[in-house]
Structure 1
Amino acid sequence: MKVLIAGSAGQLGRALQATAPANVTVIAPPEVDFDICDPEAVARVVATAAPTLVINAAAYTAVDKAESETAAAQRVNVNAVGVLASAARNAGAGFVHVSTDFIFDGTAHLPYPPDALPNPLGVYGRTKLEGEEAARDLHGNPLIVRTAWVYAAKGANFVATMLRLMRERSELGVVADQIGTPTHVPTLARTIWTLAQGGHTGTFHATDAGVASWYDFAVAIHEEALALGLLTTPVTVKPIRTSDYPTPARRPAYSVLDKSATWALTGIPNHWRVELRACLQELARG
């Protein structure tokens, strides 16, 4: 299998390269050579690579900035997806697109199954939903994998932000009334490879196991980082309400995804706290 990865320099792009199965040849051109917003560049790269599968690991993920940078979010999360999907279809290749829990409004009280009715609250969620629709319309038979609360040892993410703030401050307030599931990027990458190699198409959900609030996640980061020596001084982590921390974009209060169909094919991954420890151990090793 020859696989072309868009967004190869991002958290997921790097993890896909690191976890690629032995029988996969990965083609991961840098962004300067593979501008997914440029139809001619995409057509040229796809024609040269002649992949059997194209994975879109690129996205505009600045949730709050998307409220004011709507055109940029639309360009990357919708238009570019259509360009990639069309190029993959024209090359006779499969197409994998990664989406998000933010397509849901968070009013549910049970995990969202893949066929749940979407209702995004902001520009980021809306553009990611429209990106899913573009993938289906312009490829015809894509694999769409929705995930949530993604982090890795490298890159800009919640874990990196918390570690920085915990080194700078003696007290932090973290939202406790938004519930979801943290996802260590290697889990997502391995799930994508398993589904893709199995020839699966349609919509699947993928996160680590378990449930947490952002506050729970932050407390776990604090405890694990202290144990590993990544933090030398304890700080106070206080639970706050969403209303205490206003942001430009509204966020779903409950965005736990139902992974039962995915896990039936891939097996149940580690609990999110186990994966968090693994991530922080990687950081501690340098």
Structure 2
Amino acid sequence: MLETHNNKITPPQAVEGTPKATGDINDLLALMARLRADCPWDVKQTNHSLIPYAIEEAYELGEAVQADDDEDIKGELGDVLLQVVFHCQLYAEQGRFDMSDVIATLQEKLIRRHPHVFEAETLTDDAAVKARWDEIKAEERRVDEARGKPRRRLDATKAGSALMQAQDVQSQASKLGFDWEGVAGAFEKLEEEIEELKAEVRDKSKAEIKANISDIEKELGDCMFALVNVARKLSLDAEAATLTCVHKFKSRFGYIEAQLAAADKRLEDSDIEEMDALWEAAKRHERSS
């Protein structure tokens, strides 16, 4: 059993020899400790370097659930769990907290946010539960503020992908009066940002672009943010629209690959002119199907 403690944090003891898959959380923690000791890649990782992997694994889990394949779902749930275990190992090495502290914090939160289950409160439907949940979260934020934790008006926006965060922060700012009335202003801002991005790269050599890549990245981010604002003003979900485009691109590229394979050719044996012609054929195939 994992036990919460207030003593000095000690990282899990690394497993010796060749471990076995037991299904025991403590054995998993010992395996992670071993990887941190002996795997060159794992040794190099930090909490910050792992952030992209945690995001990627969450999306892959979502895709596995949509596909409804048990083996894939188990694998992706395990990958998400690995991110939790990896982060806990790193923080334990820093002497800050360990897995038992994370589990205890989660247990406390679940108990605190479900008074209708563990206390005398009676909530009759899911809408009432959601409203009470939001009330409790608001009270938790007030407690944080009383403890001196800074809280700004847009800090309560949702976590998620960059597109999701951009759209939510824009929506929250709109509720505070920081917005255009119609979509025209959003389009003008998008055009302005695109021109600024073009100016950063126009007539520049590869070396000049590389030397100025930080400023170019900022301008590109401004363009993405402005485009998300156009989506919001049109009542579209920027994340869903982008995912639709990704799936469409993959489908069309798959068509190209299949047509080349039917001609006994590989993608590597083709050129951009041939692939572009097949791309247009894929678009015609979509419209006719």
Q: TM-score range by the shorter chain?
A: under 0.3
Please report the TM-score for the alignment, with normalisation by the length of structure 1.
Answer: 0.24
Larger Rg: 2
Please report the TM-score for the alignment, with normalisation by the length of structure 2.
Answer: 0.24
> Quick one: higher RCO (CA 8 Å, sep 6+), 1 or 2?
1
Higher strand share goes to which structure?
1
